[in-house]
Amino acid sequence: MADLTPPSLHPDVERVAFLLGTWEGSGHGEYPSIDPFDYEETVVFGHAGKPFLTYAQRTRHLTEQRPLHAETGYWRVVHAGEGPVWLEIVLAHPTGFTEMATGTVDGGEIHLVSTSVVRTPTAKEVTAIERSFHADGDTLRYELRMAAQGHPMTHHLSAELRRRS
Ligand code: HEM
């Protein structure tokens, strides 16, 4: 019979365990080549008893309620000793990208910088992505910048989420 007991937290994940749970909130998006927009978002961080977090987010347009972006992947903890936690991020986007990134968690400050963005043949031209998160108790704020469509690293998103569970 399958063992359905939830796995216990891997010790390397303890210092990023403050991310675990479901976060909901809203954000604002812009880019030089598009109309600005507002969105609502749900982010879920989970774990599987190994040294990574599972990560998934989905979004809707704030007023029109139509689905917008979604992404899913893993936040791998590769160093959990002295100093900041080091992460490697593996994400898939339905818009035709995979995003590999490295970064650090230092208290509630998280900074991720892409090491590669691989595109399907019809995906838009995104060459680099940077993400900054600030966690403060049950509030998680983030900003995302990207180099895309010939623009240098430029702000795309900012959002504020609250922990729901
Ligand atoms: C909360 C997450 C996100 C939301 C709600 C969102 C939403 C949007 C919206 C509404 C647009 C304009 C219309 C459209 O093309 O659909 C757009 C454009 C775009 N987004 Fe995002 N996006 C998100 C995350 C991302 C990420 C992570 C990337 C990079 C992988 C990205 C790359 C782009 C690109 C390349 C464009 C087109 C820019 C252009 O045409 O010049 N977006 N996004």
Residues 41-75 have pLDDT tens digits of: 999 999 999 999 999 999 999 999 999 999 999 99
Q: Is residue 4 a part of any domain in this protein?
A: no
Name the residue at shortest CA distance from atom 41 of ligand 1: 33
The percent of residues above 90 in pLDDT, for the chain, comes to 95
The residue segments making up the domain with residue 107 are 11-163
CATH code, domain carrying 87:
2.40.128.20
Residue 41: CB within 6 Å of ligand 1?
yes
Q: Are strands 67-79 and 139-148 parallel, antiparallel or unpaired?
A: unpaired
Take residue 131 and report the two structure tokens written for it.
Answer: 């993400």
Identify the band that residue 6 occupies on the pLDDT scale cut at 50, 70 and 90: confident
Phi-psi region of 83 (alpha: psi -120 to 50; beta: other; left: phi over 0): left
Q: Which of the listed residues 69, 99, 115, 160 should we mutate to test ligand 1's pocket, taking the one with most ligand atoms within 8 A of CB?
A: 69
| Dihedral angle, C-alpha 111, 50, 11, 8, nearest 10 ° | 130
pTM of the model: 0.96
Ligand 1 centre and the CA of 13: distance in Å? 30
If one counts the domains in the chain, the total is 1
List pLDDT tens digits, range 145-163.
999 999 999 999 999 999 9
Ligand 1 centre and the CA of 69: distance in Å? 7
Q: Is residue 3 a part of any domain in this protein?
A: no
Q: Is residue 2 a part of any domain in this protein?
A: no
Mind giving me the DSSP string for 150-163? T--SEEEEEEEEEE
What atom in ligand 1 is closest to the CA of residue 39?
Answer: 5
Mean local confidence (pLDDT), 28-50: 97
Ligand 1 centre and the CA of 9: distance in Å? 34
